[in-house]
A and B are shown apart, each in its own frame.
Chain A
C-alpha cells in the first residue's frame, strides 16, 4: 500500500502529548505516550484513556437486519436484546475466521457491527455479499465515529462525573445512548483490557473535546493516556485473542478454543448460516482429536517469546508455535499464547520450551487467562 496512513480526529492531541506513533492497519496510531509499562499498570490499578478510532463501524438496519446478521455471522444475533452487545465472529464458507466482532443492538431494527481496522473492508464486503434477499441496509460508518475508551477500576467514577446516564444499570456488554461532557455518545461497557471500562462512540468532531474532558475528570484518579502497546499487553494478560495472531482465516473458532461463539441451534433462516457445514465438521474434529490447543506459556527465565517462535519439547521436537508474546507487567515475567499439540496442552506439562533465536528457554504451560480481575 502506498497510501499515507490515516489520522484519527485526535491526531493533534496525540502529537501535543508527545506520543510515539505507529502505523497500524493503515492508521497512524499512538503506540505509547511515555512508558508503556506505566500505562499498563495505570489501567490495571487506576484508569487509562485510549483512542480506538481505527476500529471499523458498520451499521445494519431494516426489518430483516437480525436475519441477515444471523445468516452472515456465527452467533445468535437475533437473540441479542436491544441495548446489549455480543462478541461474535464472521467466517468464510470453509469455517475460517474472517474477523472477530462486537455487535451492538442499538434498537429493535438497528445493529452496529464493530470490526478490527485491518478487516473492516473484508467484513463490509462480506456482509454486503451476504445481504442479497434480505430486507436490510448496510452502511459503512467508519468515518461517522471516533472511538474513545476509558478502562480501569477508576473508570466508572470518572465517567459518572461527566454524564447523567445510568452507568450502574449498564451491564458488561451493554450499550446505551447518552451525553458525556455535553457530547452525544453511544456509551458501551466493553473493552479489551480485562478491566471494567467503557467505550464511547462519538462524532469525530466531538472527539478532542471529549478527550480533554475525560483527561480533566480523571486527573485526580490517576488516569493517563494509553497507546496500543499497552493495549496489546493488557489483552494478552487477559487471554483475549487478537486477529492475525490467534485468529486467522486458516483457523476455525473451534481451533481457537472459541467454539462457544458458534450457535448451531439458531433457527432463523432455517438454521442456515455461512460456514455452518464446515464449522460442524470442525466441531466434530476438535471433539474427537484436537490437533493443537491454544494455551498460556509463562517464562521461567527472562527472554521474551514473540509471535512465530516455535514451541519445543525436551528432545527439541517442534510441538507448537507462539502466536503472541510479551513481557507481562502484572506477572513480572514474559508470557505467551501459543498453539501446542494436544499432548502438551495440559497446564503443568513438564519440559516445554520456546526456541528464542536458537536457545531453548523453559516455559510453564498454564491455563488462560493469565490475569482475571477481582470483582
Chain B
C-alpha cells in the first residue's frame, strides 16, 4: 500500500491534509483500515466540537473490535463526512478519499506528525 505524499500522519494512524484556508481533512490510514477489517459503524464528533491532538473524538467499529478515533491536531470540527456515516465500508474501500472522516479548523498541531515516508517506515515493523 502507498501512503499519499501530500498528507501527514499521526502515530495513531490518522492522516491529515494540508490546510486549505485553515481547514484540514482527517481520516484513518489504509494500514489502520486493513488492521480493523470491515468497518461497520463510525461515531464522529459533532460539528462545532473542539478536538485536541492525541485525544479521542469518536469510534470505529469493525466485525471484531471497536477502536477509538484520535484527533491528530487541535481545532474545531467544521464538517463530518455524512456519506461515511451512512456507508462505513468507505473507510475500507477508499480510506484516503471517500472514506475521510471530518474536517477541522486548526488551532494547533503537535510537532511529531510524520511525513508519508516516515509513516511508511513507522508501520513497516
Residues of A at under 8 Å CB distance from B?
A: 20, 31-32, 35-37, 229, 232-233, 302-304, 306, 326-327, 334, 357
Contact = CB atoms under 8 A, between A and B. Distances in A.
A233 B62 CA distance: 12
Contact of B66 (A229, A232, A233, A306): A306
Contact of B92 (A35, A232, A303): A35
A35 to B, nearest CB: 5
Nearest to B64: A229
Contacts of B37: 20, 31-32, 35-36, 229
A327 B63 contact: yes
List the 4 closest A-B pairs by CB distance, nearest first: A327-B40, A37-B38, A302-B41, A304-B61
Interface size class of B (residues with CB under 8 A): 10 to 19
Contacts of A357: 59, 66
Contacts, number: 40
A223 to B, nearest CB: 20
Contact of A35 (B38, B59, B61, B66): B38
29 contacts: A20-B34, A20-B35, A20-B37, A35-B37, A35-B38, A36-B37, A36-B38, A36-B64, A37-B38, A37-B63, A229-B37, A229-B63, A229-B64, A232-B64, A302-B40, A302-B41, A303-B41, A303-B61, A304-B40, A304-B41, A304-B61, A326-B63, A326-B64, A327-B38, A327-B40, A327-B41, A327-B61, A357-B59, A357-B66
Contacts of B59: 357
Contacts of A334: 40
Nearest to B63: A36
A306 B64 CA distance: 9
B38 A304 contact: no
Interface in B33-68: 34-35, 37-38, 40-41, 43, 59, 61, 63-64, 66
Contacts of B63: 36-37, 229, 233, 326-327
B46 to A, nearest CB: 15
B92 A304 contact: no
A334 B41 CA distance: 10
Interface in B72-102: 92
Given A35-B38, A327-B41, A334-B40, 16 more contacts: A20-B37, A32-B37, A35-B92, A36-B37, A36-B38, A232-B64, A233-B63, A302-B40, A303-B41, A303-B43, A303-B61, A304-B61, A306-B66, A326-B63, A326-B64, A327-B63
A35 B61 CA distance: 14
Given A35-B92, A327-B40, A304 B66 contact: yes
A88 to B, nearest CB: 29
Contacts of B66: 304, 306, 357
Most central of B34, B38, B40, B63 by chain A CB within 10 Å? B63
